[in-house]
Structure 1
């Protein structure tokens, strides 16, 4: 477990200072190798655009995007539906499915992509994101990885997404009439997704007591009885995704 913790801490430090795609890719590639996987892939989709940062072979990612495999990929379909980390294998995911899905996994296997762990990331505003660690058939034991480091892997995916959103994308702005600051809205949004203050602090790169301050400030601004009430009010008023 200590090995996972060391990889996690190095990853958090690196992602926290990354400012472009190349830097994000280098940090995630290092963590991928330390965790015993062959590849990683971060994919964020909106209706009209996408962000892809990965170590998958370029030929494969080009084919994936050109063929719109995201529309038939069982891993992406499940990641859109689920919130919790899950393991997958091409052999299992293609079982009982049509020829196009079987061909898709067959093509992926040609590039050494046969199994992995995917972290779904609720992105809000009709957006979708997921972070995947992948390997070939003889890669690491996925059940063992999840048993040893499920929370670490989950936090890595969420933190990577949060930093990419901050550094590489135009933020989805709050309504100018919103009583909440950007940070207050972020803290409420992550709370609404079941994250603890410790987890939110790791995702946003700020101290737990600062999270508590922003949550209490948001509660006061919304006239809520407690944080749970503040989350409910913010969701009802469309102040958080």
Structure 2
């Protein structure tokens, strides 16, 4: 997001204007159409300390698939849901273990009902313990899908956070900015200490690309204009102390 992207700006502003479930559904459809995707879905669950409840969701999936999903209670089978709500970084569906027959059957039915052959999930963690996931799918060829991930993944992680805030407003939850993950703050901490990306990658046993990914996300989530600005904001909010010491 180093340079101005009018489409990303429009998507962000559109999500921030969401005030109802119908608005959220319209916004998901706009995202699918604008980025040439097959489907999109957002799901959120309450904080672990609240009474258990079914997830709250909005999706562009076909009504038949939504009905089938609910009737079969796929909430307990869906590996995207299981992995996404535990993850702190994006989940590429191609990395999901398909050795379980029930999982293979689930994905087979999903594709029969129009869910794309490629999928990725962006996890979000709210400051009150609530969690959400934005999942998008595509039927493009493998090369086009990888090009999409390379060019849009960081922006979509940010959009996931904005969507989480929007759903929170619909549910009547206080609006908070999406919090940074421990890993994002850790990378930002080493940046604040003057370490280069390559050295930070060595310290944390990550790839340089992954370190840059976390730094960019931290900057975006903190609403900072630069990494130096992000360090200042994180320091002011005491994030380094809260997350790392």
- What TM-score do you get using the length of structure 1 for normalisation? 0.69
Cα distance change, pair 103–129 in 1 and its aligned pair in 2 (3 A): same
Q: CA deviation at 1:49?
A: 3.2
Query: What is the rounded CA distance, in whole Å, between the counterparts of 2:233 and 2:171 in structure 1?
Result: 23
Cα distance change, pair 95–37 in 1 and its aligned pair in 2 (3 A): same
Q: Deviations over 1:98-133 (max 9, x none)?
A: 2x2222111111112132121011246554311011
Q: CA deviation at 1:148?
A: 1.4
Cα distance change, pair 128–68 in 1 and its aligned pair in 2 (3 A): farther
Give the alignment of 1:38-187 within 5 angstroms.
Answer: 38-46=38-46, 47-89=52-94, 93=96, 95-98=98-101, 100-113=102-115, 114-123=117-126, 127-136=130-139, 141-165=144-168, 167-171=169-173, 186=177
Q: CA deviation at 1:66?
A: 3.0
RMSD over aligned CA atoms reads: 3.5
More deviation, 130-139/60-69: 130-139
More deviation, 6-15/190-199: 190-199
SS at match of 1:201: coil
Q: Deviations over 1:25-53 (max 9, x none)?
A: 21221122111101110011232132111
Query: What is the rounded CA distance, in whole Å, between the counterparts of 2:218 and 2:127 in structure 1?
Result: 19
Q: CA deviation at 1:151?
A: 0.7
Q: CA deviation at 1:86?
A: 2.9
What are the ranges of 5 or more consecutive residues in structure 2 without an aligned counterpart? 47-51, 185-216
Cα distance change, pair 48–143 in 1 and its aligned pair in 2 (3 A): same
Would the aligned equivalents of 2:234 and 2:240 in 1 still touch at CA under 8 Å? Answer: no
Q: CA deviation at 1:162?
A: 1.6
Would the aligned equivalents of 2:158 and 2:220 in 1 still touch at CA under 8 Å? Answer: no
Q: CA deviation at 1:65?
A: 2.6
Q: Deviations over 1:69-97 (max 9, x none)?
A: 122222222213321123225xx746322
Q: CA deviation at 1:213?
A: 9.2
Would the aligned equivalents of 2:222 and 2:233 in 1 still touch at CA under 8 Å? Answer: no
Partner of residue 180, structure 2 = 190
Cα distance change, pair 212–94 in 1 and its aligned pair in 2 (3 A): closer
Cα distance change, pair 72–193 in 1 and its aligned pair in 2 (3 A): same
What are the ranges of 5 or more consecutive residues in structure 1 without an aligned counterpart? 173-181, 220-226, 234-241
Q: Does 1:31 align with 2:36?
A: no
Query: What is the rounded CA distance, in whole Å, between the counterparts of 1:126 and 1:133 in structure 2?
Result: 23
Q: CA deviation at 1:20?
A: 0.6
